[in-house]
A and B are shown apart, each in its own frame.
Chain A
Amino acid sequence: MEGIVLALFVCLILALVTKYLSVPPIPFYIMAGVLLGRSGLGLVTEDPICTFFSDMGLIFLLFFMGLGLKLERIAANRTAVLTSGIIDLNVNMLIGFVAASLFGFTLVESAVIAAAFYISSTAMAVTSLIENRKLMLREAETVIWLMMFEDLVLIVFLALVSAANQNPLLLFLKIVGVLALLYALAHWGKEFLISILDRDDELPILFTFAAVLTTASFSMFLEVPKTMMVIALGAAFATTDPDAFEEHARPFKDVFLVTFFVIFGATIDLSGGVNLLMILVISLLAVLSKFVSGTITGLVIHGSAISGIEIWGNTIGRGEFSIALAYLCGSPIVVTTIAGVVILTSIVGSFTAKYSTGLRRGLLHMGRRKSPTRHLH
């Protein structure tokens, strides 16, 4: 019990400091966890309360992701989303997978590392676009759609990983069944749901919390992973009033997710030693591979490699989804590696996000000087 209180208190201080300095909080939560946990002072231990908080954090993160899925919007924007998404997926998954394999990870471990290596942090990208006043840039929209595509890939990946120990076809059918049922409930119960959400007493927030937990707990009976259940619930609820659900679920997500990061850090086991060189090399590759995918995307979508720098600058940080993957399917060494990559890339990413526009202007000026025929406006 004291462990979770300490973790919460540390989160509070870190949230204050990181907001003040406007740097991403996730790497600091994880590092605080490492210091307080198994490999550090041993103050935060894996008791049932901590496990409950972590699970809640993950469940609400994925519920939120489900709520944000706008499939009809993706369909309307198909070419741009698919083109940039597929470039991002192929370049980064491939580089991540090859790098992990070369460092001697097994096939499955390499796949998990590759996925964590590929998925940028949506939270960091969106915060960066808003805080650095970049929303009007045409690349901003590309970045937002890239994040959505990555979410879809994450869902497929989670489904594949959880299918490892059961019949994949049966699991697929079950997931489709759950999704259909939840969609039907959301469709036929839409008026009821909205009437609950419109109330100004405690019911909307109680209902949201209960709905998420109930759905998650059904996973045991159906043998469909919790992660899939809550994403499906989020996607189904998104057809009613997603903004209201976000509003009511946000307090739970905010509290549980930060404790999730600290507890995740606390469970990291450094007793087997840390291959710092390997983490450094993979992190460097993670920064470079986003540069490659960003540049190609910039060229293909916006007809300019310089646009790619903006896309790159805002997507370097790996964060919440990489950590979720490590938590769900990583062996201890994979967990340590992914945690290291998240810490390093998110710190690098916060700098590139701030200075990418300056960098881009610098490059444009250099280009202008080389070609004097081009007019300055």
Chain B
Amino acid sequence: MSLMALRSLNLPGVGTKYEFETDKGDTVAIFFTKSGTIQMYTLQNGCKAPSAAEMTPVEARRLGNILTGAIIEADQERVEIAFSALADLRITIHTFIIPKPIGGKTIEDLQIRAKTGSTVIAVCRHDQNIINPPPTFVFEAGDAALVIGESDQIKMFEREIMVT
């Protein structure tokens, strides 16, 4: 199976267009407009009228994550990065929504580093990001914690921390 060619085109005054045809003959076109929005059109094989969705850059990245298979659940996203130059080091970044039982505990209380080896690198609370939270950081139920580590360490986090 060969990948269909991706055509890109710069449309004066509008922006950049990317278009490709799938194996089944459907067409997908993406436009990065100069106003900053991204429009995605899909045209089913044999149909005349495409359907369209307009996205902000954040929404488009989210869609991109879904399409690459990075997201497992709607609220929990996972990205794995492989560094081929570092003996194929694979680092996983995963978001977890903090459940009620963990609310009120600090990173130190939970012994995250000692128990799992993973690190909480950011917490998103009410649309505000706290980067590199200190060990004394107190979780609240509903926080989104961004945890970084190797795949096994992330699994450990899920088993050891999330279920307590």
Which A residues fall within an 8 A CB radius of B?
Answer: 68-70, 73, 122, 126, 129-130, 133, 135-137, 141, 144, 147-148, 246, 357, 361, 364, 377
Q: Report if B112 contacts A (CB, 8 A).
A: no
Q: From residue B15, how far is it (CB to closest CB) to chain A in Å?
A: 9
- Which of A70, A133, A246, A361 makes the CB contact (< 8 A) with B39? A133
Q: Which residue of A lies closest to B34 (CB)?
A: A246
| Interface size band for B | 20 to 34
Q: Report if B47 contacts A (CB, 8 A).
A: yes
Q: From residue B143, how far is it (CB to closest CB) to chain A in Å?
A: 33
Q: Which residue of A lies closest to B42 (CB)?
A: A136
Q: Which residue of B lies closest to A364 (CB)?
A: B48
Q: Report if B138 contacts A (CB, 8 A).
A: no
**A70→B11 CA distance, assembly (Å):** 10
**Contacts known (A135-B29, A377-B46); A130 close to B14, Cβ less than 8 A:** yes
**Contacts known (A135-B31, A357-B49, A361-B49); A144 close to B39, Cβ less than 8 A:** no
**Contacts known (A357-B49, A377-B47); A135 close to B39, Cβ less than 8 A:** yes
* 27 A-B pairs (CB sep. < 8 Å): A68-B12, A73-B10, A126-B14, A130-B31, A130-B33, A130-B39, A133-B39, A133-B41, A133-B54, A135-B14, A135-B17, A135-B33, A135-B52, A136-B29, A136-B31, A136-B43, A136-B50, A137-B50, A141-B11, A144-B13, A147-B12, A147-B13, A148-B12, A361-B49, A364-B48, A377-B46, A377-B47
**A306→B74 CA distance, assembly (Å):** 43
**A160→B62 CA distance, assembly (Å):** 52
Q: From residue B115, how far is it (CB to closest CB) to chain A in Å?
A: 43
**A182→B74 CA distance, assembly (Å):** 54
Q: From residue B57, how far is it (CB to closest CB) to chain A in Å?
A: 15
Q: Are A126 and B29 in contact (CB under 8 A)?
A: no
Main secondary structure of the interface of A (DSSP, over half): helix
Q: Are B12 and A133 in contact (CB under 8 A)?
A: no
* B1-39 interface code vs A (CB 8 A; 1 in, 0 out): 000000000111110010000000001010101110101
- Which of B12, B33, B50, B52 makes the CB contact (< 8 A) with A144? B12
**A136→B41 CA distance, assembly (Å):** 7
Q: From residue A205, how far is it (CB to closest CB) to chain B in Å?
A: 18
Highest count of chain A CB atoms <10 Å: which of B10, B14, B35, B48: B14
Q: Which residue of B lies closest to A131 (CB)?
A: B54
Q: From residue B39, how far is it (CB to closest CB) to chain A in Å?
A: 6
Residues of A within 8 A of B33 (CB): 130, 135
3 tightest Cβ-Cβ pairs between the two chains A and B: A133-B52, A136-B41, A136-B50
**Contacts known (A357-B49, A361-B49, A377-B47); A144 close to B11, Cβ less than 8 A:** yes
Residues of A within 8 A of B17 (CB): 135
**A147→B31 CA distance, assembly (Å):** 19
Q: Are B13 and A122 in contact (CB under 8 A)?
A: yes
Q: Are B52 and A70 in contact (CB under 8 A)?
A: no
Residues of B within 8 A of A130 (CB): 14, 31, 33, 35, 37, 39
Q: Are A135 and B13 in contact (CB under 8 A)?
A: no
Highest count of chain B CB atoms <10 Å: which of A126, A129, A136, A357: A136
Residues of A within 8 A of B39 (CB): 130, 133, 135
**A377→B48 CA distance, assembly (Å):** 10
**A141→B12 CA distance, assembly (Å):** 10
Residues of B within 8 A of A148 (CB): 12
Those of B130-155 within 8 Å (CB) of chain A: none
Q: Are B14 and A144 in contact (CB under 8 A)?
A: yes
* B114-125 interface code vs A (CB 8 A; 1 in, 0 out): 000000000000
Q: Are A126 and B49 in contact (CB under 8 A)?
A: no
Those of B42-76 within 8 Å (CB) of chain A: 43, 46-50, 52, 54
Q: Are A129 and B14 in contact (CB under 8 A)?
A: yes
